[in-house]
Amino acid sequence: MKVAVRYYTKTGNTKRLAEAIAEAAGVEALPISEPVTEQVDVLFLGNSYYAFSIDPEVRNFVRALDRNKVGRIVNFGSAAMLNSTYKKVKAEADKSGIPMDEREFHCKGEFKGIHKGKPDESDLKAAAEFARQIIR
């Protein structure tokens, strides 16, 4: 199974999750500024809420994906206040004709002193295990 990992982060929390997922999948975690140019079965896409939505850069990244190159998107991320970005990412993926896996990984992320130290080692281990389950 061919896997890619892309992420968008402002605080570094989602990057840490992306690196744990990428290590488990045996690939490199890259920022969304790096387009997916190769054929992949699974694209792990890391993101978070910013001002109650996904960042416009994430929206544009998903819209630009080639549905003939990406088999499905698996959402993951962290946030201090809100939970899953799944519905927002899925809305964009639907427009691009790319299926979303119903499974996702989400954990708390530190922001301005809230959820200090998150994601922590147990979150990173859980993210890696989540990735292994997806790519089995």
What fold characterizes domain 3-135?
Answer: Rossmann fold (3.40.50)
What local confidence, expressed as pLDDT, does residue 84 receive? 82
pLDDT greater than 90 at residue 110: no
Query: Taking the model in full, what pTM does it have?
Result: 0.93
DSSP string for 11-60: SSHHHHHHHHHHHHHTS-EEETTS---S-EEEEEEEE-EETTEE-HHHHH
Q: Parse the chain into domains and list their residue ranges.
A: 3-135
Q: Identify whether the C-beta of residue 24 lies closer than 8 Å to the C-beta of residue 13.
A: no
pLDDT class of 43 with cuts at 50, 70, 90: very high
* Rg, C-alpha atoms of the chain: 14
pLDDT tens track for 45-63: 999 866 566 788 999 999 9
Q: Which of 84, 78, 124, 81 is nearest to 100 (CA)?
A: 84
pLDDT class of 2 with cuts at 50, 70, 90: very high
Distance CA 18, CA 34 (A): 14
